[in-house]
Amino acid sequence: MAKASKSQQLVRSDRRMFAASDDNAMMKQILSTHAPDGRLVDVKPILLIIDNVLRHITPEIDQALTAGSGHIDSFDGPTNLSAIDDVLDALAYIVHKISCEISCKCAGGGDAHATTMVILNMLSSYSWDAKVVLTLAAFAVNFGEFWLIVQLCTTNTLAKSVALLKQLPDVLEHSETLKPHFDALNKLIKAMIDVTKCIVEFIELPCEYISSEVPPLSTAMASIPTAAYWTIRSVVACAAQITSLVGLRQEFVTSTSEAWELSSLAHKVSSIHEHLRNLLRLCYQRIEEKKQEETYKEFIRIIETPQGDISKILRVIFRKEDPHPLFSPADKTRVDIDVLRRKHVLLLISDLDISLDEIQVLEVLYKYERASSSELSYEIVWLPIVDRSAWNDSYQQKFLNLQSIMPWYTANHPSVIEPAVIKYTKEKWRFVKKPIVVTLDPLGKVTCTNALNMMWIWGNAAFPFSTDKEESLWKSESWTIELLVDGLEPNLPNWMREEKVICFYGGEKMEWIESFTSATKKAAQTLEIGLEMVYVGKNNAKERVKKISGLITQKQLSHSWQDSNVWFFWNRLESMLYSKTQHGKTNDPDIIKQEVMTILGYDGSEHGWAIFFLGTTEMVRANGERVLSSMQSFEAWEEMARQMGFIPALRKHLEGITDDHHCTRLILPGISGGIAERVVCAECGRPMEMYFMYRCCVE
C-alpha cells in the first residue's frame, strides 16, 4: 500500500498548483527551458500513431469494464508505415528517455511540476509542438504496454506471467472501483490529444497569409508554452494514475480524490483547448480573408483587363475546385464553361427572391432570340448571390425550384461562385437587391454593368446590350404612346388607325375609378368622339390591383390588363428612369425622363391619374383630382373642346386650374444605379425633397 500512496502524491500535488494561476514567475520558468536549435521534426505522422494507440485503448477500457471483451482491433492507422518508421528511427532514443523518466518519477512519487520541468529541460532544443508530441508518444508507449498486458493476461500465457510479476490488478474484478478513475483518465487523454492537435495546427499555419507578430496568431503563440506545459503535466498525472495500479493485484484501495484531481486537470486542459480553438478559428478566418483579398485583387485585374477570350473571365468567376460549375437545363447535367466560348454572355445576378414575372419576361426574350435569326447569339447565366452562412434546406429547395424553371444556364450551386466575385458584384456592379444583368462580349469585355433596363425597354432590339447601343437607341427615341405602352395593349394599332382618344389611367380607389370613367365616357359621348380607356393598375400592389381589375371588368368600366402586363408596365417605366439617369450627360431638358418621372410621381400619390393620347404624340396628363374635376365640369370647356379638339381643350382647361395645395411623391425601389439628386415636382416644377423610405409590403 506504501507504493500506491507515493504515486498518489504526484497526482495530489496538482491541487496546490490549481490554486495558483499561470503567473509571470511560472511563465518565466517554463520559457527558460526553451532553447530550440532549429531542428525540424515531422510531428504529424507521430501524432497519427499516438492517436491510433490511444484511440484504441480508451474505448476498449470502457468495453472491458462493462462487457469484459479482450478483443483487439486491427491496426487502421496510417498506411505509409515505412515513412513513419524513418521519422521515429531518429527519435526513438528521446522517446524512450522520456518514457523512463516518467516511469521512474511516478514510481518514486515525485512532484508533478518538477517532473514536468525535467521533461521540458530534456526537450529544450525542440519546438513546442515537438515537445508535446514526443512526450505524448512516450506516454502512449507506457500506457499501450500496460493495457496490452491487462487485456491479454486472461488469454495469453506470457501476458499472464508479466501481469503476475508486475502484480497488476484484475480489471474485471475491480471494475466498479476502477471505472470512475478510467473515465476521468479517458477524458483527460482526449483533452491532451485535442490540445496537441491545436498546437500542431498553429505551427503549420501558412506564414504567407498570417503573421505570428500580430493577433490573433501572436496571442496563440504566446499561449502555446502554457498549453504545452499543462499537456505534459497531464501526461505525468495520467502516468502516475497508471503506475498506482502496479503492485495491487491482491488488494486495491483507492481514494476518490485521485479521480477528482484527474477530472479537474481535464477541465483545465479542456479550457485551454477551447481557448486555442477560438484563436485557431480567428486565424483561419484571417487567412481566408487574406486569400479572398488576393483573389479579389486578381479578379479585378482580370475583369478590367482585355483577355481576348470570354472563357478566361468565366473561369475566375467560379471556384477552381469545380471543373463543371454550370448546370445545363437542356441536358439536365453539369457542364464546363467552354459551352460559352465565342458567345455574348449575359450574367443574370440576383438573390433567391427574383420574381417569376422577371423570369417570364426574360424567358420570352431568350426563347425569341433562339427562334429568330442567328445574328442574335447570346447566352444567359444565372449567378445566385446568397448569404452562405444562413444556407439551409429551405434555401436549397428554393434554389432548385428557381433553377428548374429557368431555360438558360445556371450556376450548379451558389457555393461554386467565388466569394471575390460576390464582393465585386456588390462593390463595383452595385448589386443590392434588384436583379441586374452584366453583359460580356465574346472577348470577355464588360460592355454594360446592367443591361436589364434596356432589355425591359427595347427587348432584343438592344442587342448586343452594350452601353453604346443603349445610348444610340435613346437618341432615336421620343415621347410617344408606343414608347409608353410597347405592345402591352394589343388593340392599340387599331385604335390609332380609327383615330380614337386613348386613355391610360391608374390608381387604387374604386370610387374614384368609377367616377372618372363615367364622367370621361359622358364627355366623349357628348363630343361624339371615339374613346378607349385602359386601367394599368398601380406599382407594387399586385393583389389590390387584381381585385380592382376584376371589378372593372365586371362593371364594364374600361379595359384592364393582366397581372404580368401591369408588372411589366411599371418596371419598364422605372427602367426608363434609371437608364436615362445613367446617360444624362447634359443639362438639356429631357422630355422622356420628365414624363416618366411625372407618371411615377402620380403613382406614388394616394390619388389616381390619367394620360390621354390622340395619335402618336398628342398628349395631356393630370393627377386624379384635377382630371376628375375637369371631367365632371366638362360643360365649362365643352365649347372649347368642339373648337380645338378634346386633348388641346383639356390641356388648356387644366392650365387654368390653380392648385396651391398638393403633395407629389416619387417612390423608387433600391437600385444598383444612381438617381439624380435634383428632381422637380410634376405639378409645380419646384425641386422635390429627398427622403429615405423602408417598406415591408406583404399582401
pLDDT in tens, 619-653: 999 999 999 999 999 999 999 999 999 999 999 99
CB 6 within 8 A of CB 108: yes
Residue 28 lies in a domain: no
How many domains does the chain fold into? 3
Q: How many angstroms separate the CA atoms of 668 and 569, rounded?
A: 14
Whether 338 maps to a domain, the answer reads yes
d(CA 636, CA 501): 20
Q: Are 526 and 509 in contact (CB under 8 A)?
A: no
Q: Judge if 52 and 153 occupy the same domain.
A: yes
The CB-side HSE value for 667 (13 A sphere, CA atoms) comes to 14
* Same domain (yes/no): 509, 597: yes
Contact 218, 142 (CB under 8 A): no
DSSP 3-state percent helix, strand, coil across the chain (nearest 5): 60, 10, 35
Residue 102 domain flag = yes
Question: Do 438 and 560 belong to one domain?
Answer: no
Query: Smallest Cα–Cα separation from 658: which of 632, 625, 610?
Result: 625
Task: Answer with the residue of higher pLDDT: 389 or 409.
Answer: 409
299 located within any domain: no
244 with 366, same domain: the answer is no
**pTM for this structure?**
0.74
**Are the beta carbons of 13 and 19 closer than 8 angstroms?**
no
- Are 410 and 399 spatial neighbours (Cβ–Cβ below 8 Å)? no
Together in a domain, 187 and 240:
yes
Task: Indicate the DSSP class of residue 501.
Answer: E
**Same domain assignment for residues 121 and 239:** yes
Considering the domain architecture, whether residues 281 and 330 belong to the same structural domain is answered as no
How far is Cα 217 from Cα 200, in angstroms, rounded to an integer? 13
pLDDT tens by residue, 81-100? 555 666 666 688 888 899 88
Q: Which residues contact 583 (CB under 8 A, 6 or more apart)?
A: 470, 471, 474
267 and 338 housed in the same domain: no
Closest CA to 101 of 81, 121, 76: 121
Choose the final residue of a domain: 422, 455, 476: 476
Mean pLDDT of the chain: 83
| One domain for residues 105 and 184 | yes
What is the reported pLDDT for 681? 62
334 and 432 housed in the same domain: yes
Same domain, 660 and 520: yes
Per-residue model confidence (pLDDT) at position 73: 41
Give 155's pLDDT tier (boundaries 50, 70, 90).
Answer: confident
| 296-308 per-position pLDDT tens digit | 999 999 998 888 8
pLDDT in tens, 531-557: 999 999 998 888 899 999 999 999 999
Q: Which structural domain, as residue segments, surrounds residue 347?
A: 310-476
For residues 672 and 436, the answer to whether their CB atoms sit within 8 Å is: yes
- Least confident window among 131-140, 387-396, 651-660: 651-660
